[in-house]
Structure 1
């Protein structure tokens, strides 16, 4: 699971840094001059609390000033609102950053509390009837009637956003709406905290560790013939793909899919119920109906048609894949009549790769040390997008492992990003691009965007560099694509810095294709000990094996899509289905494999259904566009800078300043289609 964690999903369309007048008013390390970085290494919980409170007070005062305007204009209503949302979003984003990443427990708690307070103010602003009336009154003016392009879109989108945020409710219902929003945000925060603090360990002896890579064993050795493996995302692949003992795989699988289940199952039940109540309050049948209105898909019927079509297209290949996996299991077990269980899938896929294609993923890992992969990836992005990255030596960061970079366009500062790549206690456990500051025109100049790549890759040790699997390399390229999306924005208003949420993954998915190009990969894939370049024969074998189990992988993703849709589109408060039984129901309908294991609760540590409901289909929806756009690079050359700059200017720089379908069609020179996507799945 990979996605850009856009706080605008929770705080609608908020993204940027405090205006200059704030910097002149208080002395606080979070309040900086235009395009100056925060001194993260020296901030305190008191600083973070003061910053949040000041931003809230200033924002509330500025909203009051908009409502007091006698003659509404674009600038004194919508321009001013963009400034306010800009200030609030930066405070929100940086508070959340500290909550997710700070090694200091008091700063983490203060960050979460500050984020919640800002979110509460946001809910109040977006449901403020006087503010809404001021905006609507502008639409009756000659100035509005003369608007076109991005300014008209901004006005219309913002009014739509308020209408979707309870502004039309009566006083009693609005109070209920605000209460539900607060309860939902409290529940999502508790769910995430429970997930990130679930410190499960798998303890193995030498027998249980059979098949595990020696470097992996060295990393988690805890005495003679004893290994203590944390049950986290970074260890899942090495265990599930390599542990020769079925009991080891099963024990890990059970622990991994039970993280935080003692608390989060009840939280999830409450979230589903409260989101349903919120949708009903807003006049929608289901939460999915409500949630999908601003997205490309528009409504659940379109999503179901899309997902069900892919299920039918994938089933045949998935059935063949499962038969091949079962044959590999039977061969390995000497024909013993055993079932193929969910904890077997990755292991026997790995066996097929090794035995039928001569591809050993753990051997490939030796050619992918993190530092070389970063250098190689940076070279790809810099060349394609005609940008330059410069590491800031001695940059002030929140942890010693974090690095800071600046982005330049023809010598001009374009943006800033941070890399926080490895797992540590109490840090968010998945992979995200976290937006911090959004591009925006200001009186003193253009405010450049900032973002952070939050990763949980295989960490280095005293004797080993961080060695990535090819899958982790794909994740790195993907998440950095989100970073470039943020860096590339070229717009006047921060409110327009983000695209539709079911398109946003396309802008990073497209870059995963470069790791399947030997010219690209051989430029940096060198053995960490010998310096040998990854052999072309090995890479060609990887290409031949690319679609091994691709049908099953597609069905697995679709299964998650359907689960998400069942929770938020088919929920019936009078006939509730347990979130465990829902897995069984879906498996029965698909008719391929019983993927649910009794005693497990994968839904208790699945971030999407917590903070990003009705989102999972968006990965597949976006990928249709990603693979279609990649066809332009295939036609013109994967290193063709002209195509890369065209992509940057038309797609990445756009945000929501123009209709994204129009922008894609201009990039392609034709309407988009799904041919390249279906080909990429091996279907």
Structure 2
């Protein structure tokens, strides 16, 4: 009887205290698990008018910096009060209903608030609001460490572990098992002294990661070049650059600027200066990485692991540091013969150009040569004119074609939502419905162009998780896709490179993973699968930008509207393996950098990177640069796990080759199979089980090796 009363009270509370919006009011509400006790005053957020049906927060970020800070502090106080009441349950009062159900909904509501508070630091136009968001992020992460290390709650979970869990759904059984595992990975089975050290380290790590990203997001370095120094760079790009008083053009370090100069500038000194400027951005982040790797190593030792990589891989497909190391080293060795052939071709091009320019040829490749001669090689061998290709990829045309492809493949309908106030006038929101039933699945927000203070690369960031609420209804998902494409000019729309089309298709694949997820719990929704699997669905969808039919649907000349003609399309498709060994080895060098600095303390990261580049690629990073200063994956959850991109690619190529390549890239039945068996389960199943289900067999690496130019 007591447990039912507690459950009823908890459910009542959960129904009446929805956290949303940016203001506060004090309401008299019954404390969680407080049956028979006096009412208490609890600060909760009042509900604002929704910006779109099902959206729980206003997303215009017109809130003041002080109000955002107060929001964070107040929400933590309110949530802590709930955890305290919940933690006071006596052992004989513990049931699945009043522990797991309550925890699951606290997860949901906490992430709603966390996302609202955190996203502003990546998108807000007001610098002070971005600072306030970073502060709020610290507050919420500190609270997350606090709640994840509550001994009182861990003890209740251990009580549940001894009960008959067969009465639970498979997902709820997975949830209980994961919570106990996470508790042990926080040291809750160890002494209080160790727990305090782990807590201290965890908070310091979080703060350092937030500071790293603040430096990265606020970076605004520019470098000025004369138009002569930019010879070879597309004329329309040069015209789009700001003209400074000296008559030079201002180039930023944002991806469209950096890539245009590094791929096209004929003057090697221009490329060298650009490489140096880009590589020396955010150098204050280098000591942050040193502190982070040291703290992570200490934490792993405290918890009984030999190193951080061993700690993080325990929950992943690879399962051990040795598996990761062997995978990377084996692939690097296989790629070396192919790289030597590629390198000789690049050196031949460099020698020819040095002769034309009348400058000495040193017989070596430099870091600032790679993109330039790789681009030249594609133009020479495959007759690919990258600038001509861009004319066929105006952003609006690519976006429209891509959305139609995803609609047909996954059985969805996308519709732009008019009149929604968002954080910038250029940002738009889309509603996503299930085509067959008309059910609203959620929303995605597109933020496509660079601006000062905005996150400067590409990412999906959650706005609210898709999962069940206590009343059994579903909280719909919302996710933002942040991009940095070249802005339209007065006489020309935003034109994408083929690489940018691929990146867009990849990132939107993550968006679809969020929106198609059918997980009932916040812990497993969207992309919350094993980290070394979560890139797989998006990587699999990259294959569409190498197939003739999808490319035709996504292209249209910005003047005539005509799709890519065969004389451009066929060489592009044929060029897929161009430079594959060099690209893959550069990626492996980063994977091994991440691996190496996370298996031992006090490592000189730039020295490690230099040694890896020299060994794998036979050239060095430029003096004065430091790779880890902008290696944001080290602070965004890929620490010790950057190998995940290559590991996931093994399975992504298997999925595509085994099903879509054979059955058709527009086969709707295969697409729905993919949605049901890969996207909808999200993190509710082990990745290998989802792969087996879709493939009908054990996964293998044959298609992956072929995609790297290697024979099987």
TM-score bracket, shorter-length normalisation: over 0.9
1:385 aligns with 2:420: no
**1:8 aligned partner:** none
Q: What secondary structure sits across from 2:620 in the alignment?
A: coil
**2:18 aligned partner:** 22
CA displacement 1:573-625 (0-9 Å, x = unmatched): xxx442221123223443x4123222211211110123331121000011111
CA displacement 1:470-499 (0-9 Å, x = unmatched): 000000000000000000111221122111
**1:606 aligned partner:** 631
**1:141 aligned partner:** 163
Alpha-carbon distance change, 356 to 84 in structure 1, aligned in 2, over 3 angstroms: same
**2:266 aligned partner:** 244
- Please say if residues 38 and 396 of structure 1, whose CA atoms lie closer than 8 Å, have aligned partners that are also in contact: no
Alpha-carbon distance change, 287 to 39 in structure 1, aligned in 2, over 3 angstroms: same
Using the TM superposition, name which of 217-226 and 649-658 deviates more: 217-226
**1:491 aligned partner:** 519
Instruction: For 2:560 and 2:169, locate their aligned partners in 1 and report how far apart those are by CA, in whole Å.
Output: 60
Alpha-carbon distance change, 675 to 648 in structure 1, aligned in 2, over 3 angstroms: same
**2:119 aligned partner:** 97
**2:384 aligned partner:** 359
- Please say if residues 509 and 626 of structure 1, whose CA atoms lie closer than 8 Å, have aligned partners that are also in contact: yes
- Please say if residues 86 and 494 of structure 1, whose CA atoms lie closer than 8 Å, have aligned partners that are also in contact: yes
Instruction: For 1:456 and 1:553, locate their aligned partners in 2 and report how far apart those are by CA, in whole Å.
Output: 22
Using the TM superposition, name which of 25-34 and 672-681 deviates more: 25-34
Instruction: For 1:680 and 1:169, locate their aligned partners in 2 and report how far apart those are by CA, in whole Å.
Output: 47
- Please say if residues 30 and 48 of structure 1, whose CA atoms lie closer than 8 Å, have aligned partners that are also in contact: no
Using the TM superposition, name which of 207-216 and 331-340 deviates more: 331-340
1:267 aligns with 2:284: no
- Please say if residues 126 and 167 of structure 1, whose CA atoms lie closer than 8 Å, have aligned partners that are also in contact: no
Alpha-carbon distance change, 462 to 84 in structure 1, aligned in 2, over 3 angstroms: same
1:62 aligns with 2:82: yes
**2:39 aligned partner:** none
1:449 aligns with 2:469: no
**1:330 aligned partner:** 351
CA displacement 1:116-144 (0-9 Å, x = unmatched): 111111111111111000011011123x2
TM-score under structure 1 length normalisation: 0.93
1:106 aligns with 2:128: yes
Alpha-carbon distance change, 529 to 221 in structure 1, aligned in 2, over 3 angstroms: farther
CA displacement 1:626-676 (0-9 Å, x = unmatched): 111112111111001111111111111112212221111111111100111
Q: CA deviation at 1:98?
A: 0.7
**1:11 aligned partner:** none
C-alpha RMSD of the superposition: 1.9
**2:682 aligned partner:** 655
**1:6 aligned partner:** none
Alpha-carbon distance change, 292 to 20 in structure 1, aligned in 2, over 3 angstroms: farther
- Please say if residues 30 and 47 of structure 1, whose CA atoms lie closer than 8 Å, have aligned partners that are also in contact: no
1:637 aligns with 2:637: no
Q: CA deviation at 1:146?
A: 4.3
**1:314 aligned partner:** 335
**1:14 aligned partner:** none
Using the TM superposition, name which of 515-524 and 662-671 deviates more: 515-524
Using the TM superposition, name which of 579-588 and 604-613 deviates more: 579-588
Instruction: For 2:45 and 2:114, locate their aligned partners in 1 and report how far apart those are by CA, in whole Å.
Output: 18
**1:403 aligned partner:** 428
Alpha-carbon distance change, 40 to 588 in structure 1, aligned in 2, over 3 angstroms: closer
1:76 aligns with 2:102: no
Instruction: For 1:153 and 1:444, locate their aligned partners in 2 and report how far apart those are by CA, in whole Å.
Output: 19
Instruction: For 2:45 and 2:290, locate their aligned partners in 1 and report how far apart those are by CA, in whole Å.
Output: 43
Q: CA deviation at 1:19?
A: 6.3
- Please say if residues 134 and 214 of structure 2, whose CA atoms lie closer than 8 Å, have aligned partners that are also in contact: no
Q: Which has the larger radius of gyration?
A: 2
**1:9 aligned partner:** none
1:294 aligns with 2:294: no
- Please say if residues 94 and 156 of structure 2, whose CA atoms lie closer than 8 Å, have aligned partners that are also in contact: yes
1:277 aligns with 2:277: no
1:219-230 correspondence runs (5 A)? 219-222=240-243, 226-230=248-252
Instruction: For 1:20 and 1:254, locate their aligned partners in 2 and report how far apart those are by CA, in whole Å.
Output: 56
Q: What secondary structure sits across from 1:159 in the alignment?
A: helix
**1:201 aligned partner:** 222
Alpha-carbon distance change, 208 to 29 in structure 1, aligned in 2, over 3 angstroms: farther
Using the TM superposition, name which of 206-215 and 594-603 deviates more: 594-603
Instruction: For 1:151 and 1:221, locate their aligned partners in 2 and report how far apart those are by CA, in whole Å.
Output: 56
Task: Give the structure, 1 or 2, with the largest relative contact order (CA under 8 Å, sep 6 or more).
Answer: 1
Q: CA deviation at 1:33?
A: 9.8
Q: CA deviation at 1:164?
A: 0.9
**1:665 aligned partner:** 692
**2:11 aligned partner:** none
Q: CA deviation at 1:444?
A: 6.0
- Please say if residues 443 and 478 of structure 2, whose CA atoms lie closer than 8 Å, have aligned partners that are also in contact: yes
**1:7 aligned partner:** none
Q: What secondary structure sits across from 1:450 in the alignment?
A: strand
Instruction: For 1:225 and 1:357, locate their aligned partners in 2 and report how far apart those are by CA, in whole Å.
Output: 37
- Please say if residues 272 and 368 of structure 2, whose CA atoms lie closer than 8 Å, have aligned partners that are also in contact: yes
Alpha-carbon distance change, 679 to 20 in structure 1, aligned in 2, over 3 angstroms: farther
Select which of 650, 655, 662 maps to 1:624. Answer: 650
- Please say if residues 474 and 515 of structure 1, whose CA atoms lie closer than 8 Å, have aligned partners that are also in contact: yes
1:129 aligns with 2:148: no
Using the TM superposition, name which of 18-27 and 174-183 deviates more: 18-27
Q: What secondary structure sits across from 1:479 in the alignment?
A: helix
Q: CA deviation at 1:411?
A: 1.4
**1:158 aligned partner:** 179
Alpha-carbon distance change, 525 to 225 in structure 1, aligned in 2, over 3 angstroms: farther
- Please say if residues 29 and 47 of structure 1, whose CA atoms lie closer than 8 Å, have aligned partners that are also in contact: no
CA displacement 1:188-212 (0-9 Å, x = unmatched): 1111111222221121112101001
- Please say if residues 313 and 641 of structure 2, whose CA atoms lie closer than 8 Å, have aligned partners that are also in contact: no
TM-score under structure 2 length normalisation: 0.89
Alpha-carbon distance change, 38 to 114 in structure 1, aligned in 2, over 3 angstroms: same
- Please say if residues 151 and 188 of structure 2, whose CA atoms lie closer than 8 Å, have aligned partners that are also in contact: yes
Instruction: For 2:424 and 2:51, locate their aligned partners in 1 and report how far apart those are by CA, in whole Å.
Output: 20
Where does structure 1 lack aligned partners over 5 or more consecutive residues? 1-17
- Please say if residues 29 and 43 of structure 1, whose CA atoms lie closer than 8 Å, have aligned partners that are also in contact: no
Using the TM superposition, name which of 30-39 and 530-539 deviates more: 30-39
CA displacement 1:64-117 (0-9 Å, x = unmatched): 233233432222111110101111112111211011110112321222222211
Alpha-carbon distance change, 533 to 589 in structure 1, aligned in 2, over 3 angstroms: closer
CA displacement 1:346-398 (0-9 Å, x = unmatched): 11111112222110111111111111111011011100000001101121101
Q: What secondary structure sits across from 2:606 in the alignment?
A: helix
**1:434 aligned partner:** 461
